Amino acid sequence: MSIPSVKLNNDFFIPILGLGTWQSKPEEVTAAVAYALKETPLRHIDCAFGYGNEKDVGAGIAASGVPRSDIFITSKLWGTWHSRVEECLDQTLANLGTDYLDLYLVHWPVPLNPNGNHPLIPLLPDGKRDVDHSWDIKDTWKQMEAMVKKGKVRTIGVSNFSEMNLEKILPTAEIIPAVDQLELHVYNPQHKLLKYLYSKGIRPQAYSPLGSTGSPLFKDETVTELATKYGLQPADVLIGYLIAKDIVTLPKSVTPSRIAANVSGGLAALAKLQPADIEKLDGLAASGKQKRFIMPPWPVDLGFENWG
Ligand SMILES: NC(=O)C1=CN([C@@H]2O[C@H](COP(=O)(O)OP(=O)(O)OC[C@H]3O[C@@H](n4cnc5c(N)ncnc54)[C@H](OP(=O)(O)O)[C@@H]3O)[C@@H](O)[C@H]2O)C=CC1
Ligand SMILES: O=C[C@H](O)[C@@H](O)[C@@H](O)[C@H](O)C(=O)O
């Protein structure tokens, strides 16, 4: 069993399935990453400086014994570092124990005060997130581009960028973002934004593909009906739906049996789901089930539909 890869706009390939690591506890994630790399065909790990567990992810990569060149590693620039991209990246590289990333993303299009009252989420006296309104995200992108030129990252992209925010960086971009990592699943398919991304050559990546922690998606009637029909688990249908649409998908688990099942089941669903099934799943949100699960309290408009 091998996991298909898809081509990015810089001609590099990315495995269509990766292992998510957000909210994976440091004491669990080392074993989870080592297991994924050693015992399953997964060769793609999605990390972030903001997750606070990169050192533990790095320990898992090292423990797996899988050569660095066989692994696709993504990490993300946190908001307090928008004006200091290389400094954030250097910490990430040291944490993960590597000298390059395959993919580096701007985590959110919101620069945060680098000199505020917290290193990750500084708050103002009124409790709102302390946004650095003086910083322009097109300059964050310039610094991201410089990291490609220096050879510290192979590919750059964005995350949580709507069309409105992409339009802020594209006019001056020398490198078009290769991906936009977004909340994508059957209840939040973002069809309109995906159409825009494809028109620009930007590949969508699906985060929270299972509906994140405590997900209601496993009990959705259409999802469970399809799972029963094809002898699959609901998680398989949720993953198969996205990869059938060629969307790079990042299920998270720290449970070995689930890490393995999300690969074998996701690929089984890819083989079994029919165009009519995909169409049905594509229509769930519009049938009244539209729902986002990841909505941090940013005090600025991100330009997304169905936010809040
Ligand atoms: N760019 C961004 O802003 C964001 C990026 N992400 C990325 O996407 C990844 C995935 O998203 P995430 O929000 O973590 O959520 P997911 O949709 O991947 O869901 C993870 C949850 O589902 C459980 N789970 C995993 N597999 C199964 C299964 N087969 N059956 C039942 N339950 C299962 C996990 O439990 P357990 O671990 O206990 O097995 C965990 O509670 C993140 O880890 C991160 O890497 C996520 C959110 C935002
Ligand atoms: O990648 C995961 C998410 O983006 C996560 O990093 C944010 O939602 C963060 O917890 C926040 O509160 O802003």
Residue 157's CATH number: 3.20.20.100
- Copy the structure tokens of residue 214: 């405590």
Residue 137 lies in a domain: yes
HSE, CB side, 13 Å, CA atoms: give it for residue 60. 31
Report the predicted TM-score, pTM, of the whole model to 2 decimal places: 0.99
Q: How far is the CA of 239 from the centre of ligand 1 (A)?
A: 11
- Catalytic: which of 51, 104, 187, 207? 51
Residue 189 lies in a domain: yes
Q: How far is the CA of 76 from the centre of ligand 2 (A)?
A: 11
Residue 206 pairs with which residues in a beta bridge?
182, 249
Residue 293 lies in a domain: no
Residue 290 lies in a domain: no
Residue 165 lies in a domain: yes
Residue 121 lies in a domain: yes
The pLDDT of residue 217 is 98
Residue 135 lies in a domain: yes
The pLDDT of residue 196 is 98
- Copy the structure tokens of residue 221: 């009637």
- Distance, CA of 210 to CA of 259 (rounded, Å): 13
The pLDDT of residue 308 is 77
**Of 22, 162, 236, best ligand 1 pocket probe by most atoms within 8 Å of the beta carbon:** 22
pLDDT in tens, 75-114: 999 999 999 999 999 999 999 999 999 999 999 999 999 9
Structural domain that includes position 178: 5-213
Residue 280 lies in a domain: no
Sheet arrangement for strand 72-77 = 19-20, 44-46, 72-77, 101-106, 153-159, 179-183, 203-207, 248-249
**Of 212, 219, 264, 291, best ligand 1 pocket probe by most atoms within 8 Å of the beta carbon:** 212
Q: Which residues in the chain come in under a pLDDT of 50? A: none
The pLDDT of residue 1 is 80
The pLDDT of residue 139 is 98
ipTM tops 0.95:
yes
Angle ∠(222,223,229) on CA atoms, nearest 5: 85
Q: How many domains does the chain have?
A: 1
